[in-house]
Amino acid sequence: MNKPLLERYAIVKAEISKLEDEIVELQPQIILDMGDNEEVEFNGIGKFSIGKRRKWVFPADIVLAKETLKEKETEAQQLGTASYTENPYLIFSKTN
């Protein structure tokens, strides 16, 4: 096992996590600071834009249909009538 490679991965993963947390904190502040400006150029590095994402709220009958479908999917998994594939992926857990 290549321990330096594993150590580097763990360090990079921790740095990414910390930076992602910081981005989450910065975004609302930047959006507020931009005000009505939909786009702001920044030092030739790039530009900031404010996008809008739709969040749908469905009527009760559709919510019920989704829940029913999920129940049927779970039942098919349990009965073995649904099939699946397994794909490997890397899992890293911090110890402290």
* This prediction's pTM: 0.61
Asked if residue 10 belongs to a domain, the reply is: yes
Asked if residue 44 belongs to a domain, the reply is: no
Asked if residue 43 belongs to a domain, the reply is: no
* pLDDT tens digit sequence for 2-45: 999 999 999 999 999 999 999 999 999 999 998 888 788 888 88
Asked if residue 65 belongs to a domain, the reply is: yes
* Host domain of residue 66: 3-37+56-79
CA distance 28 to 21: 13
Asked if residue 90 belongs to a domain, the reply is: no
Q: Is 50 left (phi over 0), alpha (psi -120 to 50) or beta?
A: beta
* pLDDT tens digit sequence for 38-87: 788 888 888 899 888 999 999 999 999 999 999 999 999 999 999 999 99
What pLDDT, on the 0 to 100 scale, is given for residue 25?
97
CA distance 28 to 81: 46
Asked if residue 92 belongs to a domain, the reply is: no
What pLDDT, on the 0 to 100 scale, is given for residue 94?
76
What pLDDT, on the 0 to 100 scale, is given for residue 6?
94
Q: What's the total number of domains in the chain?
A: 1
